[in-house]
Chains A and B, each alone.
Chain A
Amino acid sequence: MNFIGISLTHKTASIEVREALHLSKEESSELILRLKENIFSSGFVLSTCNRTEIFGFPKDGKFDFQPVLKTLLDFKHVENLKPENFVKYFSCSAVKHIFKVASGIDSLIIGDSQILGQTKDAFQLSEDLEFTDSVTKRIFDTSIKVGKLSIRETLIGEGAVTISFAAVQVVGKIFSSLENKSALVIGAGETGELAATHLRDKGIQRLSIANRTFDRAEKLAKKLNANVIEFDKLKDKLNEFDIVFSATSAEGFILEYDDIKLNMKKRKGQPICLMDIALPRDINSKASQLDNVFYHDIDSLNIIVNQNLQKRQSEIPKVEKIILSEMISFFSWYNTLDIVPTIKAIREFFEEIGNDELEKIKYKLSSDGFEKVEDMTHRLLGRLLHNPTMRLRQIAEKGTDPNEVASMSVLVKELFDLNSESHEKETK
């Protein structure tokens, strides 16, 4: 199987290089057109912030990675990018690599939930640009199947593996539902935005944003359909919230122990979750001593993240089992592809002989007589070829024993000397 590919991931390149090489959808489309023109007959390009993968079937059938690399580098110039940053795959290993990527076990965060969607998009792009054939399509379908099976049948995607998601998980263990709760996110940076998005996804009823720069708070609030609270009035309004996420880059505490104590008085002891996901911390951790105050910082949330990562790690063998079984079924199918040309060749071979012989007697018979002989010849050929054709098809469709298929194919070709026949034809 002359399937090859190059891959640059978090394992082989720094984040700067990965980011610089990242291809947008438009860029990927353009690169595909170039590859299609010069190098591959079919394939795909997958590019995310953590990986760029280019795979396909070379037109010349050779395992030559250089043209692929060259096309990519001509297309996108990236400084400090070295050939060592790429891992090269071919044949079986290439297929296995794609399955691993789709399953999420090759991701920076094991079991990453986004990669399957990104892979699907990449495959779709190839289909849209007519950069596929039956084999690549089968690889795409099986990859997606592997990804789905991994999620469904293993725990590879279970549990929170980011700080902000872990924080939301803890909140879920304190309040039964977020639908009648209100939350405040302090800090409208990347972390704050992520936390606010998670809370929205979990169905929080009231969401407010506070940020030292008012405009940024307003921008994020607009995006998430939230309210804005002025940074200076934060402490006065704190008692209105059941959940507070703090993710600012401020030095020193924004909320002191006394602020929380006063707040709890105002809340009449109603429970409050304080998730301090900032570094350095925003809330004085002494607050955790108060009753019904659930304070967690990055360190304590990291415990959950690490636990979940470990659990996911231990699921990898199960995913690899899925990959192996899908590899077996893929290659069984692939090996049966051999039989199709064989069936075609044997039919052509017989028909040619029939036509030859008919030609010889064409002018020795009356047209009526010739028609009868012609009919008989076709019937005869049909009956003679019926059983072998059906048997070969059956073997191919079953596709369980590639060896049987291969040996049958070789036997038929040898018996009728079909190789030279078809070869002759091709060269003609």
Chain B
Amino acid sequence: MRTLEFQHPPITSKFEIFSILAFAIGFSFFLLELISEVHKTGVFVIGISVFFQVLSTIFILDNYEVKEVLRNNLLGLHVISALLGYAGFTVSAVYGILFTIMYKQIKRNKFGKIFVQLPSLELLEKLSFYSVIIGFLLLTFAISIGIIWLPQAFSDFTYLDPKLISTTIVWLIFGTGILTKLVGNWYGKKVIKFFLIGYALTILSMFLANVILPSFHSFY
């Protein structure tokens, strides 16, 4: 709706991004529920979605200058697919955490509410893995657009940009994770641990790249 109203993709401020992120997480979860017919984990995932949307709703502004470069639709596609990719990783992390909790419950003979309510370990692992794959594909797409289009759009473009490097690291981590599962036949706890650590590194590198280091990639 903001896209229609203000004539630019909804990627021009932190809070528009939050809104998309909320939407993306909600949407990817919706897809997963459709595929997997699991209906009891929604509250965890939607919780994150709601968090971002609330932030966005509180702080979002309606009128401000939008830089010319941010009005580009190709950039919109790039940012949205990257965000959807990260949303996929976030959903995966949520399932990863649920897996870890359930794993510990079963190992420690705790058969309480969590044990009764959560789906099986195998399914949680599968859901986590599917969301990683979806996230990985979307991120690959975002990177491809970026590499083709960015050098033309920015004069100060450099391959050593912190955000580029951090994204590449994230891409490599999850790529390796997917490979170990598919080729190396990793199972259960090991894969989940890998993805969870991967997600923590992702957040960390995004934080470093966006907040601490200067980059042509920063717009807000």
Contact = CB atoms under 8 A, between A and B. Distances in A.
Given A288-B107, A304-B111, A173 B102 contact: yes
Nearest to A170: B106
Contact of A291 (B102, B109, B120, B190): B190
A307 interface: yes
B147 to A, nearest CB: 36
A389 to B, nearest CB: 58
B123 interface: yes
Contacts of B76: none
B115 interface: yes
Interface residues of A, number: 19
Interface in B60-111: 102, 106-107, 109, 111
A240 to B, nearest CB: 16
Interface in B38-58: none
Interface residues on B, range: 10 to 19
Given A294-B106, A294-B107, A176 B188 contact: no
Contacts of B102: 173
Contacts, number: 51
A291 B103 CA distance: 10
B130 to A, nearest CB: 13
B122 A291 contact: no
Contacts of B186: 269
B106 A174 contact: yes
B18 to A, nearest CB: 34
B115 A271 contact: no
A296 B109 CA distance: 8
Interface in A159-180: 170, 172-176
Contacts of B123: 176
B2 interface: no
A174 B111 CA distance: 13
A291 B111 contact: no
Interface string B178-220: 0000000111111000000000000000000000000000000
B185 A268 contact: yes
Interface in B154-196: 185-190
Nearest to A300: B109
A213 interface: no
A314 interface: no
B122 A175 contact: yes
Contacts of B118: 173
A14 interface: no
A305 to B, nearest CB: 10
A279 interface: no
A174 B122 contact: yes
Contact of B106 (A173, A176, A268, A307): A173
A403 interface: no
Contacts of A174: 106, 120-122
Contacts of B126: 176
Interface in A263-293: 268-271, 288, 291-292
A303 B187 contact: no
A16 to B, nearest CB: 35
Contacts of A176: 119-120, 122-123, 126
A304 B126 CA distance: 26
B187 A270 contact: yes
Nearest to A302: B109
B115 A292 contact: no
Contact of A268 (B115, B120, B121, B187): B187
B106 to A, nearest CB: 6
A173 B121 contact: yes
A271 B187 contact: yes
Q: Which of A176, A270, A288, A292 has the most CB of B within 10 A?
A: A176
Contacts of A270: 185, 187-188
A172 B109 CA distance: 15
Nearest to B184: A268
Contact of B111 (A175, A271, A288, A307): A307
A292 B107 CA distance: 9
Nearest to B122: A176
Nearest to B120: A176
A174 B185 CA distance: 18
Contacts of A268: 185, 187
Interface string A367-382: 0000000000000000
A97 to B, nearest CB: 34
B188 A291 contact: yes
B189 A292 contact: yes
Contacts of B190: 269, 291-292
Nearest to A268: B185
Nearest to B186: A269
A155 to B, nearest CB: 12
A270 B125 CA distance: 12
A269 B180 CA distance: 13
A300 B188 CA distance: 22
B189 A303 contact: no
Contact of B121 (A269, A271, A304): A271
B189 A173 contact: no
Contacts of B111: 170, 303-304, 307
A234 B190 CA distance: 27
B115 A173 contact: yes
A158 B29 CA distance: 30
B189 A291 contact: yes
5 nearest CB pairs, A to B: A300-B109, A176-B123, A176-B122, A176-B120, A292-B188
Given A173-B118, A268-B187, 19 more contacts: A170-B106, A170-B111, A173-B102, A173-B121, A174-B106, A174-B121, A175-B120, A175-B121, A176-B119, A268-B185, A271-B121, A271-B122, A271-B188, A292-B188, A292-B189, A292-B190, A294-B106, A294-B107, A303-B109
8 contacts: A173-B121, A174-B121, A175-B120, A268-B185, A270-B187, A291-B188, A292-B190, A300-B109
